[in-house]
Structure 1
Amino acid sequence: MLTNTHTGTRIDEVAPGIYRINTPMRIDAIPGGFNLSQYLIVDDEPMIFHTGWRRLFPFVSEAISKVIPLDRIRHIGYSHFEGDEAGAMNEFLAAAPSAVPFASHVSVMTSLNDLADRPGRGLADRETFSTGQKTWQWIDTPHVPHGWDCGVLFDQTTRTLLCGDLFTQPGAETLPVTESEILTASEAMRKPMDYYAHSTKTAVILERLAALNPTTLACQHGSAFRGDGAGLLRELAAILDKELRDELG
């Protein structure tokens, strides 16, 4: 559903109770443009994962309000500390007085408790929590794709992985969800921009995510993917592992 004709912001359900809020960005440095997504989880205790940039809050909040009132939100989190992940944190906290901000223990220590107007909740690796009908598991993914504090969320109910910057795809206009493979497009963007951290543990971390057998990959940039998420994660791990071995000789 298109919610703002000026920015092109829209909100679409990509898995049961999981909504992708997306705003196209036309950036000269990226041919064809780029896009930013946040994910709204509609449940007994609604959640927003990634806040978007602070300057986009009016448009992101407008999209959310088409589905639920903002003051119903109870959980506000992000994968790692950057502007497109956490820039509008305090705007969301003001709009949702009962919401608690969350991130990894590392991010709460290094960033969140300095940024946020309310104390944050630090999640441990493999820690689970419920939003009502859905049970979520936090997975630490340090330096994958980047950021010491990085982590992802997995919905054990719908097998949806909120995977942050993994499988970032270029293009201002992308489908809300696709069953076509997204690895080719994401690799075409990753290689020239080189925004991965070159961690020696990347393949191990990606295998941990693949072992969850996700059926939806909710990407922050580009289309969400519905299908064999484990297969795509293992394909990416093999590519990165070979690159690392080639670099190390």
Structure 2
Amino acid sequence: METRITEIADGIYRLSTYVPDIAPPAGFTFNQFLVLGDEPLMFHTGLRKMFGLNRAALARILPPERLRWIAYGHFEADECGAMNEWLAVAPQATAAHGQTGCLVSLNDFSDRPPRVLADGEVIDLGGKRVRFIDTPHTPHGWDAGVLFEETTGTLLCGDLFTQLGDDRAVTDGDIVGPAIVAEDMFRYAALAPGMGRTIRSLAGLAPRTLALMHGPSFTGNGAAALRALADDYDRRITAEMAEALRPLAA
């Protein structure tokens, strides 16, 4: 395996590791994102077992010890499994997440006390500004959240739009259709009643780049893509509710 680097927006880099043995024959990508600034931030740590690959890749952009912030979408091995390995090599780095994530997981998991972020709180990285947005149960995880980099209009959207394969690093094509296929296969979303509303609220940010954790980054009309994804989840939730209520109507 190798970790490849692509600049997906000004000063934002995608570090991508393709694993062909997951969901063959298409395979699956695991992506971390480095946001440069006076205080660089990494979104997602990657799996603990991939730490060596990711550290070597990040070192091609900047010395790993310069990392100042480490954030992630929700508590799961690929999102934050290597958290403490990164904290060990970056002595000035601080983990950061929302209140729920810190209370239920990060306060205990992190080797150093994390920064608790309120919904909508901004971290000024010096040249870049990232805003934390709570998205509970979207697509899964009580503690789920995303980051929006305001200067480039980049939404670091975690598991939203998850898809198979590794055909390109950046696309301006359809990311909703492949995400529907992956949802049909993995059934990874929580299908919470407010999911569509939460995703549509992200569309209000009008992102110009969508940084997918599993799949290519998207450039273009991010709001339209988010609304289309929200429509699909509304369809799924309506169908699940109808199926659940069918015995009561019999």
Same fold (TM over 0.5): yes
**8 Å Cα contact 2:162-2:214 kept in structure 1:** yes
Give the counterpart letter for 1:102 in structure 2. A
Alignment-derived partner of residue 245 in structure 2: none
Q: 1:174 and 2:179 equivalent?
A: no
- Deviation per residue, 1:187-245 (Å, 9 max, x gap): 11111211000100011101110000001000000100000000000011111112222
* TM-score normalised by structure 1 residue count: 0.95
1:2-41 alignment, distance < 5 Å = 7-27=1-21, 29-41=23-35
**8 Å Cα contact 1:213-1:230 kept in structure 2:** yes
Q: CA deviation at 1:165?
A: 0.2
Unaligned runs of 5+ in 1: 1-6
Matched residue of 2:86: which SS?
helix
Q: 1:150 and 2:177 equivalent?
A: no
Distance 2:153 2:167 in 1: 22
Give the counterpart letter for 2:234 in structure 1. D
Distance 2:22 2:105 in 1: 30
Alignment-derived partner of residue 215 in structure 2: 222
Matched residue of 1:153: which SS?
strand
Selected match of 1:207 from 175, 200, 203: 200
Q: CA deviation at 1:38?
A: 0.2
Q: 1:123 and 2:94 equivalent?
A: no
Distance 1:181 1:76 in 2: 30
Distance 1:82 1:166 in 2: 14
Structure 1's 135 and 30: CA in aligned 2 closer, same or farther, altered over 3 A?
same
Matched residue of 2:177: which SS?
helix
Structure with higher Rg: it is: 2
Q: Size of the alignment, in residue pairs?
A: 242
Q: 1:240 and 2:233 equivalent?
A: yes
Q: 1:106 and 2:91 equivalent?
A: no
Alignment-derived partner of residue 126 in structure 2: 132
Matched residue of 1:13: which SS?
strand
Selected match of 2:183 from 182, 187, 190: 190
Alignment-derived partner of residue 3 in structure 1: none
Q: CA deviation at 1:30?
A: 4.0
Distance 1:84 1:96 in 2: 19
RMSD over aligned Cα atoms: 1.0
Distance 1:90 1:244 in 2: 37
Structure 1 runs of 4+ aligned residues shifted over 4 Å read none
**8 Å Cα contact 1:165-1:220 kept in structure 2:** yes
| Range with greater deviation from structure 2 (149-158 or 183-192) | 183-192
Give the % identical residues: 46
- Deviation per residue, 1:97-130 (Å, 9 max, x gap): 0011011111111111111110111111111121
Selected match of 1:165 from 159, 171, 176: 159
**8 Å Cα contact 2:161-2:179 kept in structure 1:** yes
Distance 2:185 2:51 in 1: 30
Alignment-derived partner of residue 247 in structure 2: none
* TM-score normalised by structure 2 residue count: 0.94
